[in-house]
Amino acid sequence: MQKEKRHSPMVKAVIQQLQQDVANHLTKLIEERPTEARLKEAMLYAVQSGGKRIRPLLTLAVGSAGTSTNKAALDLACALEMIHTYSLIHDDLPGMDDDDMRRGRPTVHKAFDEATAILAGDALLTLAFEVAANANLEARQLVEAVKILSSASGMSGMISGQMKDIASEEVTITLERMKEIHREKTGELLLAAVRLGNLFVDDAKMKEAFVSYATHFGLAFQIQNDLQDVCWTSEQTGKETGKDSELSKNTYPSLLGVEGAKEALSTEIAFCKNALDGVDFTLENEQTKALLIEFLTYLEI
């Protein structure tokens, strides 16, 4: 697969600063609220485990193309990251994927215990909506933000995709059915990230382009995740690899082969670029395009 052209150190510096902003704000949002000490410790352990923070970065990058104030967009970005983190905590539980490692560290139920992990996930999910509801936004934006978060994470979004994924184990499904599962399980939160950013954007064509970008990014993200499970080591991923095969999961490599999956990944990345090419970015929002293009380098195998 052809490597993406890297952007300037300035773009990378912007990304690093945004990642730090997200990390600091997540910690602040949790630390400033009263709760039982062990629960707070587990929540902080989960949100401080690192990662690229691609979902909140998407929200902040897209929002910067419009009228976002850093604090309001940051609140929404962190609310989304809390939902994502809660989903990872619950995915790792013995009743789900039963994983011992996440991002090179023991999973929350291993570092603490299963009951604490469940409660920490529940607390992050509910705190996400509290944070979003308290964001400094117009009433219409607040309502839309809550709708975006609840729809993407709920029974018609991420949870539905997770349930369909479990039901598809050890049975043969079509490629289209697998795409449907992944659009809900993985793609909905990535799409929500862009839709939250779009709350600050007025240009209809630009908003449509960002949604198209996010749709293809979500599929590419899942294809890459599937490829990592067969192409990368546990040291590279920070978690146990080869589990998809053990669980007889339907993945892009299992349906298309490794080379076919890599080709599908390249196709989705190309669609992401095409979506952005259809927009006339001004000097004021050129950085948004540079950030979105740079994010595509995260999809490399």
pLDDT in tens, 202-218: 999 999 999 999 999 99
Q: Quick count: other Cβ atoms within 10 Å of Cβ 290?
A: 18
Residues of the chain with confidence (pLDDT) below 70: 1-7, 68-69, 234, 236-248
pTM of full prediction above 0.75: yes
Q: Where are the domains of the chain?
A: 3-299
> pLDDT averaged over the chain?
91
Provide the pLDDT for residue 237: 63
pLDDT in tens, 52-69: 999 999 999 999 998 766
Provide the pLDDT for residue 2: 39
Query: What's the topology of domain 3-299?
Result: Farnesyl Diphosphate Synthase (1.10.600)
